[in-house]
Structure 1
Amino acid sequence: MERYVVIDLETTGHSAKLGEKIIQIGAVVIEAGQIVERFASYVNPKKEIPPFITELTGITDEHVTEAPLFSELIPFLLPMLENADFVAHNVLFDYSFLKHELEAHGYELNTNHQYDTVELARILLPSEESYKLGHLAEQLGFEHERPHQADSDAEVTGELFLLLLEKLNALPTSTLEHLQRITKTFRSDIDHHIENLLRQDRKAQDNLFDHFRSLSLRRMEKESSENSEQPPPLQTVLQQLKDDQMKDTKQAFERYEKRAGQLQMMEAISNAFESNEHILIEAGTGTGKSIAYLFPAAFYSVANQVPIVVSTQTIPLQEQLLTKDIPILKKLLPFQLNVALLKGRNHYLCLRKFEQSLTYVEDDTYDVQLTKAQILVWITETTTGDIEELSLPTGGRTFWHDVKSDANTELGSFNPWLSRCYYARARRRAQKANIIITNHALLFTDLATEQPLLPAYKHAIIDEAHHFEEAASNHLGQSTDYLSFTYVFARLTSGADNGLLNKLKDMLERYHLFEANPYFKMEKKLKAMNEEVDELFRMLFRYVEKHYRVSTSDVGRVRYRYQSFKESGPIWDAILESCMRLHVLCKDMFTPLMNFCSLLNDLEELAYLERALLADIHAMAKQLYENEQVLYELLLEADLNYVYWIEIEAKGAKNAAFLYKKPIDVAETLADRFFTEKKSVVLTSATLTVNQSFDYQVERLGLEDFGVKRLLIPTSFDYEKQARLLLPTDMPSIKEVSETEYAMEVAIKIERISQETKGKILVLFTSFEMLRAVYEYMKDLRTDETTTTIIAQGITSGSRIKLIKLFKQSESGLLFGTSSFWEGIDMPGAELEHLVIVRLPFSPPGEPHIEAQFEKAKEAGLNPFMAVSLPQAIIRFKQGFGRLIRTKEDKGCIYILDRRISTTRYGSAFVKSLPPIPISKGKLERLLEEVQEFQKNK
């Protein structure tokens, strides 16, 4: 019978070898699937506990002063540990620390196998956002009253371990066999446990899954048929909603309240669909716009048997629509509704590629092995095969490129996995759906491709429409970088599969088609291409270093706008010559490679795995060819309707250069290729107007000739009572001081706001440089008594989602963010009570795309600032402003530190674009007194 001891230690620091000591031990013993014994004790470390450890654990010097020494606890610990399997949440730390302490007292740590519940959870719970013990306890419903206290942590780790063992036991045989081979070098001795499981009769588990070839998948439910119901007239239902008579309304909406704006929006969209009109709708925060557009879309789609596409900019909104809004909608509707989500192809796993990847695992990195283990478990659960469900390690993102679905590697009828293809299934669902949820990127990809990805549609709803122009511009542009090339070179010549070209050579020899001279010439050309690409990108890096003006991107890169035919100098001449050489080399390499592939592809006796390999070779060759074509267009061709620029990472690798081109204006393209082709398009967002006018959007989106309808629905929130807009007058003018002085003053002001309000504060910046400078100054201002945590984008490690989660979990904190934090953040109530906008969000000077738009506006006789810069900044400003008040119960204060809002003529345009809100101007100290009064009246 397996016996496990689960250990958790709290210590004074990370390293026992550096003299750190244990201050608390928690242990539980598991036998026969149950916790049968518990042990917990404080430990006297005979040294002071550092303040940050006390803050983390709650353990003080008073707790341990009278506690036993570690040597006194050894007689209790050794019997528990002897001949047991050792389990911990991060086993390397707890095992090594305990081993060191025991050896220091002359004892050995005699345990059998080790299990790390972090590692096991990553494998067996592959969709969790975080693998911290507190998060897992919350998600899995375990009681965890005292996180970072050893007894509580040990108990929860024990419960987690039992759950993970159950999950492992429930897996099918083929999955376990793959896992056993992959996990031999893992921290957890999972292969040992699997060996025991494989000795058992597993028919009951295996019968629950779909087994095909070497993989086991979740059994798929039969796909729903098309909806043939006829709904009642929408106007009748809207009247019932107005009169609050609609069946199940209150059950569908949690705390349902009739919202006039929502009903107004429903009617407007219904009329637009019926009249075949395009409409722009700004729906203020609190309108409930998702239901407001989904409701009429559902009625119109089912009544007329036509699909309606709902497109969003961001994945979180897609997830919200699917998991929150659609279930509410279905409860409201008196008929069945089919809804499908369709993303770009590379979001979906290719089972054919993944199965092939499992033929070699020994040479994989740990991250790749872990990712393969995760995917093996995930495919027994997922119905979508969508990567967004997976929480991959860093190296796993690179591996995903090897196993994602890809049109270039299609095998058609030769692919045995076709009937189980996740992407094909998603497309089939979309073909039968009334409402298809997708994203702006796929919508534009669909417009450009000869074989449409989306079902033929004439009606669309564009949510987050303030991003629609940008999404069009990104899609109609092009880009490339050094890594795009090196990934392909690596796949063709090296890697875990020993290089695709070597496998091509083996195949050619096997079928007596190998021709040494053309093959080795091709291989030589490929090697020369690799060297040429490296040198070309190094020259691009040097050229930008030498010529760039002060201009940085949102991700901290240096930018340089170029026009190829106007650049000059020996380095640029060398760049163009290198690009031409690369062009010739690529052509000389690509033609024989395609010939070899064609020769093999014509063989009827070619086996499935050989065809699959051939498809991968063909795809990589095509990708390399397309990369080179893009590079050629970016450097050796010029279109005056586009803007071109290069970015470099100034402190990065010397070949880390990125090239881009974008159309300066997409209005005409959108008009001709999108709006003309559709009967009715609804464009909606909380931020479409500038100074209460839609004119800017109408012009930028090419809607001037369509007689587009316009509707502005004000927010349902009472900003007069819920918020205050505060404009400190004791901030320096941006133009009168240096960036350094301005950053110092911003830091002082934020620190004062934090000290006086004690609430959670979101601080929005327009550049990383300013964010970093303010962060550094604030560190200097802080005292030992300061408890407010600063979470800063680009400084605090973690993704945007992780930083927001850390902020939500903090009792009082400051969250510093740039561009991506100005929208898409929803933190109601006490999660966010104060918002600081450091600068009005004008695009930075020298931003290539904006600069080109300025020039075009000048040519048209317009004022670039008024026509381009100001409208964009106001829309961005409104997005940032909208982060604070998220519900009718929220109260909060917005501080604008940029004095231009009250000292310039254009500053009033920002204020006029906001809902009515009390505004106070004055020195910060007086404003903080007003804030105190405002907070008292909550």
Structure 2
Amino acid sequence: MRENQVYAIVDIESTGGNIENDRMIQFACVLLENGEILESFDTYVNPLKSVPKRIQELTGISPKDVKEAPYFEDIAPVLYSMLEETIFVAHNVGFDFQFLNEEFKRVGFPKLTIPAIDTVELAQVIFPTSNSYALQEIVEWLNYDLDRPHNALFDAEATAFLLNRMDEKLQTLPLTTVEKLAELSSYCIAETHLFFEHALEIMKNAPKDLSEDLVIAEGIALKDPSKNSNYLNESRNTFYPETSSGKTDFFDDSYLKRTTQEEMMDTVYQYFSKPEKMDGLAIEASSGLGKSLGYLFPVSFIASSKSPILISTKTTILQRQMVEETLAYLDRFLPLPLKVASVKGKYHYLSLANFEYKMKHVDLEDIESLFCMRILVWLTETVTGDLDELGAGGNNSHDFWTDIRIGQTDIPIQSIEKWTDLDFYHRAQEALKHAAIIVTNHAFLVQDWKKKENSLFTNVKKILIDEAHFFPDVVQDAATETISYNSFISIFKRFGTIEKENSIIATLYALSKRKVIKEYQVQSIETNKVLFESEWEAFIDYWLDQLNIPIEKNSRVIKWQENSVEFSQLSLPLKKTVKELTRLVYEIAYVGNHIVQKCLEATEQLSSSELFNILMFNDFLEEITDNARAFKTVFDQSCHGDHSWVSYYSKNPSVTFRFNRTSLFMKDKLLHSLERYSHVLYTSSTLSYNQSIDFFKRQLELDKLDFVELISSYQYEKQTKVYLPDKQLAVKESTNDDYLVYLTDSIELLAKEVDDNVLILFRSIESLQKVYHNLQNRKSLADKLILAQNISGTKSKLIKQFKKNSNALLLGADTFWEGIDLPGESLKIVIVTRLPFDSPELPTVKMRHKELLTHNQNPFIQDTLPRAVLRMKQGFGRLIRSEKDKGILIILDSRYVDSSYASVFQQSLPSGVKIEQLPLEVISESINEFLKD
């Protein structure tokens, strides 16, 4: 911040967000100079209108507070004189500054014309990895305790803290980074650019040496890879502590001793320590046992760069958590740093070459300049270049994020080669050669198995598969080819047009005019592209028409639909269309590759912009060629045993339309890849069904698999309750509308008197959305936050909101049954609306059942029932995550107790858990008694 300049950090509370019609109810200002608070001003304001109840609840400001407060016209002279020589600062300055000026105008004062700075945009740039830029969350992330959010004075003080922290952070950045931030900052709202310009002035007057862990390349400062490589001496002189006391002594007071976790540690250590080839081992570890530390601790003593251990987990998020949390925790106690490599698909990594080009050609009046600013700061922090590290604040649907992700081509061009040693994906691959522990995700692992050459994990002989209950389905997904409407359209859109300056097509025409390439080649590309797009649209429309798919644009309920289709029995006209579409794509790729080759032979005639577009063009050609191969595979006429189907969203079927085909041959081939390992360990909280591991073995086609079950020491009989209503609607004998009303009434009755968060699990997204809209209209639930999957935001956003509240309802399906961690006060009540059986109409389910029938097996007994029971175990596992947790499971499906298979569901509960059938009213009363006891 500028020396001796007074910054006025302002926060306003109002009756609402309408600048013209709403009125101020509280004004607070903190005057800051040279990082120190000079004085604070705070007052309620009489708005001369009622304060809505939701505003009272949000701010804590009562009608009495404002009734006795001064009118705005009474305080306007004081505010105006206080602010007129300052720089105005607010968190979301676009609202506060405009609202205040509107109030000044209303009482006859001129508008303030002082500079205004927005701390939201500043935080997005200066703290690029924060997961939220809401004031309370960003300052808490910076370890500031905001006691009373939405109180103007407390918010203004928190914003002053944030401004100081951002100024401090900015001063630590390299001069070259701050210079570029100042250059790019003209896009920023109001005069926010001044913050960067003032910092630059200070830094130029007192330059500092570049930090030792940074390096500058092409004017961009980033972490020096030579300072962050983990290729250290391997000798350890440390032995695995086999006794319980030895393990306790190894850690500090943060270590929570769990007998079952230590049992897991010993089991994993003994298994991987044996030199001979072993049968597979499955370990079922109860929820809350501390599974990750349970296997990573022993692995850290066994793994070496000569004999690495590969660990695969379900998602890239879990992969990152493993590296940044559990492995980082372990690293604190080990005598030498762990040599860990985490690898994902190429798309996750920043391409420095592409980013450099983007930054040089960015429009300073476009949001891309703000994105570039975030990346510049992040590059001084990131070691991996994994774009998933970036928090909120970006528009991931913007083309910018795709442009900077596209990896390097293999073409040896000078503009690309200069980044080779610094390239993040290249560094991730190099780290694999030296790593003792390699962390990846199931999808990437299985895709690596599909490679005929250049596999990344060829030297790995030991593998641990975490969240293993997901793994069979991931294998099946990898054996499924999918081609969507957008597979081709999105790429061709990025070709641009001749009218769009600097687009690929415009570049090609410019090169043809200079005789670098032939004009007829460019015309061929464009003609075939137009023909393909027209044929492709007609092809999709044909399928929509044949399947009688309605377009439900105004429906509040969004459904994901799947229909089985036999692609191996196409009509003759369709076969011709498939052949023509394939020909057009291959023709574009053939001519395009000739153009690329010709351009690379004449690079001296190309500008940097043209060269970049040619390299992008080459990447796009590879992508559409891969899509053409997938398209041919999906419509292959010879594989009659495969399973094929179409899928789409009901709200916009044409744009979301997909063709899918699962190859049974590929599935078997992928499963056989497990045979290449000497040790394979599977672990999950739900592997056994009906006290047996046979179902899991069948899914992976395993003949031998040893099994260890680690039972939690939690006192489930004291910590949990399971309730069923004694009277329930007979679902098969009632209409769907009656069933939805029954669900709504039951949930309302159970939740309205409860002061705790409730997770409500569905199997049908359609039912979920209809019940959500019904609950929104129930007055007894008006004070509750009601969240719903696919309606209220992304999964991560929903979970974050749910955790922040203590009186919320969260309606979820599918992934909400498992893989979410809501410990302690976050979740105490789970309501299961219906037993989680898969719909027999889903093509993927039909495929599994068809396979079982060919072997004379009962699909319900061998597939549907085991999957539902395991999903129920996962749902129950959301409740108890520690010895102090208490939780209630309520099941609104009578089949749990009165069906022929009820005992199988009930046996899946931990021993000691009792099931009670009571009237709904009694259950509602019992909930609070049990939780508060």
Distance, in Å, in 2 between the alignment partners of 1:748 and 1:603 is: 73
Please give the secondary structure, in 1, of the residue aligned with 2:921: helix
Q: Deviations over 1:243-293 (max 9, x none)?
A: x13473351643334436435533553466655331111111233222222
Q: Secondary structure at the match of 2:438?
A: strand
Q: Distance in 2 between matches of 1:382 and 1:153?
A: 31
Mapped pair 1:597 → 2:596? yes
Counterpart-to-counterpart distance in 2, 1:737 and 1:631: 44
In structure 1, how many angstroms separate the alpha carbons of the residues matched to 2:401 and 2:680? 35
Aligned to 1:789: 785
- Distance in 2 between residues matched to 1:297 and 1:160, nearest whole Å: 41
In the alignment, which residue of structure 2 is the partner of 1:130? Answer: 132
CA contact (8 A) 1:179 1:373 kept: yes
- In structure 2, the residue matched to 1:535 is 538
Quote the offset at 1:186 in angstroms.
2.4
**CA shift at 1:793, angstroms?**
1.7
Q: 1:182 to 1:528 in 2, by over 3 A?
A: farther
Distance in 1, matches of 2:150 and 2:638, equals 60
Contact (CA 8 Å) 2:353, 2:408: kept in 1 or not? no
Q: Distance in 1 between matches of 2:177 and 2:520?
A: 45
After superposition, give the CA deviation of every residue in 1:444-499 in whole Å (9 maximum; x if it has no partner): 12212210123520100000000111111112222122223222112222497632
Amino acid at match of 1:631: F
Structure 1 CA distance, aligned partners of 2:315 and 2:330? Answer: 21
Partner deviation per Cα, 1:349-389 (whole Å, 9 max, x = no partner) = 000011111132228853x3332221122112111111111
Question: Structure 1 residues 271, 416: closer, same or farther in 2, change over 3 A?
Answer: closer
Q: Which amino acid aligns with 2:832?
A: I
The residue type equivalent to 1:539 in the other structure is Y
Instruction: Please say if 1:867 is aligned against 2:873.
Output: no
Q: Look up the match of 2:60.
A: 58
What is the TM-score with the length of structure 2 in the denominator?
A: 0.93
* Closer, same or farther: CA 252–279 of 1 in aligned 2, 3 Å: farther
**Counterpart of 2:349?**
348
Trace 1:423-442 onto structure 2 (pairs within 5 A): 423-442=425-444
Structure 1 residues 384 and 410, CA gap change in structure 2 (3 angstroms): farther
- 1:712-731 matches, cutoff 5 A: 712-731=709-728
1:474 paired residue among 474, 477, 480: 477
Alignment of 1:46-125 (within 5 A): 46-125=48-127
- Post-superposition offset of 1:336: 5.0
Equivalent in the alignment of 1:643: 643
Q: Structure 1's 393 and 245: CA in aligned 2 closer, same or farther, altered over 3 A?
A: closer
Partner of 2:764: 767
Question: How far apart in 2 are the matches of 1:305 and 1:69?
Answer: 76
Give the counterpart letter for 2:798 in structure 1.
L
For the residue of structure 2 that corresponds to 1:894, the secondary structure is strand
Contact 1:409/1:616 (CA < 8 Å) preserved in 2? no
1:210 aligns with 2:215: yes
Q: Distance in 1 between matches of 2:350 and 2:329?
A: 30
Contact 2:47 2:71 in 1 (8 A): yes
In 1, Cα distance between equivalents of 2:665 and 2:282: 20
Asked if structure 2 preserves the Cα contact closer than 8 Å seen for 1:479 and 1:630, the reply is yes
- Find the counterpart in structure 1 of residue 919 from structure 2: 923
* 1:155-186 alpha-carbon deviations (Å, 9 max, x no partner): 21122123223333443343334333433232
Q: Which amino acid aligns with 1:867?
A: Q
Given residue 524 of structure 2, which amino acid in structure 1 is its aligned partner?
Answer: K
Deviations 1:766-797 (A, max 9, x none): 121111122222233323x842221222222x
CA deviation after TM superposition for structure 1 residue 228, in Å: 2.8
- The one-letter code of the counterpart of 1:377 is V
User: Which residue of structure 1 lines up, in the alignment, with residue 12 of structure 2?
Assistant: 9
Match of 2:897 in 1: 902
Deviation at 1:715, TM superposition (A): 2.2
Alpha-carbon distance in structure 2 between the residues aligned to 1:793 and 1:698: 33
Is it true that 1:634 corresponds to 2:634 in the alignment? Answer: yes
* Residues in 1 aligned to 2:25 and 2:190: alpha-carbon distance in whole angstroms: 26
Between Structure 1 and Structure 2, how many residues are aligned? 916
Residue equivalent to 1:500: 504
Instruction: Report 1:456-855 matches (<5 A).
Output: 456-494=459-497, 498-507=502-511, 510=514, 512-546=515-549, 556-566=559-569, 575-603=574-602, 605=604, 609=608, 612-637=612-637, 639-652=639-652, 654-663=654-663, 668-672=668-672, 674-704=673-703, 707-783=704-780, 786-796=782-792, 798-855=793-850
Amino acid aligned to 1:794 = N
CA distance in 1, matches of 2:248, 2:882: 25
Shift in CA distance, 82/546, structure 1 to aligned 2, threshold 3 Å: closer
The answer as to whether partners of 1:231 and 1:335 remain within 8 angstroms in 2 is no
TM-score, scaled to structure 1: 0.92
SS at match of 1:501: helix
The one-letter code matched in structure 2 to 1:517 is Y
Task: Go from structure 1 to structure 2 and tell me whether the alpha carbon gap of 1:608 and 1:386 turns closer, same or farther (over 3 Å shift).
Answer: farther
Alpha-carbon distance between aligned partners in 1 of 2:577 and 2:86, rounded to the nearest angstrom: 64
Partner of 1:717, secondary structure, is coil
- Of 126-135 and 395-404, deviating more is 395-404
Show CA shifts across 1:830-867 (max 9, x none): 22111111111111231111111111211211111111
> What is the SS of the residue equivalent to 2:8?
strand
Paired position in structure 2 for 1:452: 455
906 and 372 in structure 1: CA distance in 2 versus 1, 3 angstrom threshold:
same
Say if 1:362 and 1:230 are closer, same or farther in 2 by CA, change over 3 A: closer
2:229 equivalent in structure 1 = 223
Return the alpha-carbon distance in structure 2 between the equivalents of residues 486 and 862 of structure 1: 43
TM-aligned CA deviation for residue 616 of structure 1: 1.6
Moved more, 764-773 or 677-686: 764-773
Judge which range, 811-820 or 293-302, deviates more: 293-302
Local SS of the residue matching 1:106: coil
Code of the aligned partner of 2:762: F
1:321 partnered with 2:355: no
1:96 positional shift? 1.5
Q: CA deviation at 1:639?
A: 2.6
For the 8 Å contact 1:411–1:611, the answer to whether it is kept is: no
Tell me the distance in 1 between the aligned counterparts of 2:429 and 2:495. Answer: 31
Deviations 1:499-528 (A, max 9, x none): 213223434555x43322233223222222
Instruction: Name the CA distance, whole Å, in 2 between partners of 1:195 and 1:732.
Output: 68
- How do 1:342-381 and structure 2 match up within 5 A? 342-362=343-363, 365-366=366-367, 368-381=368-381
Give the Cα separation in 2 of the matches to 1:331 and 1:651.
51
Q: How does 1:180-259 map to 2 (within 5 A)?
A: 180-200=182-202, 202=204, 204-205=207-208, 207-208=210-211, 209-220=214-225, 221-229=227-235, 231=237, 234=240, 237-238=241-242, 240-241=243-244, 244-246=245-247, 248-251=249-252, 253-259=254-260
* Correspondences of 1:139-218 after superposition (within 5 Å): 139-200=141-202, 202=204, 204-205=207-208, 207-208=210-211, 209-218=214-223
Inter-partner Cα distance in structure 1 for 2:931 and 2:36: 51
Counterpart CA distance in 2 for 1:371 and 1:733 is 55
CA distance in 1, matches of 2:663, 2:687: 22
In structure 2, what is the Cα distance between the partners aligned to 1:713 and 1:278?
17
Q: Distance in 2 between matches of 1:149 and 1:924?
A: 40
Question: Which 5+ residue runs of structure 2 have no aligned equivalent?
Answer: none
Partner Cα separation in structure 2 for residue 689 and residue 555 of structure 1: 34
TM-superposed deviation, 1:932: 4.8
Considering only aligned residues, what root-mean-square deviation do their CA atoms show, in Å? 2.7
Cα deviation code 1:709-757 (max 9, x no counterpart): 1112222222112111112231212212222211211222222222344
Larger deviation, residues 109-118 vs 637-646: 637-646
- Provide closer, same or farther for how the CA distance between residues 109 and 564 of structure 1 changes in structure 2, counting only shifts above 3 A: same
Determine if contact 2:88/2:117 at 8 Å carries over to the other structure. Answer: yes
Q: Give CA deviations for 1:666-721 in whole Å, capped at 9, x if unaligned.
A: 7632442x2211101001100011111100111110211xx321112222222112
In structure 2, relative to structure 1, the CA distance for the partners of 1:663 and 1:283 (3 Å cut) is farther
Q: Percent identity?
A: 30
Point out the more displaced range, 322-331 or 758-767.
Answer: 322-331
Q: Is the 8 A contact 1:310 1:461 kept in 2?
A: yes
Contact preservation (8 Å) 1:667, 1:701: no
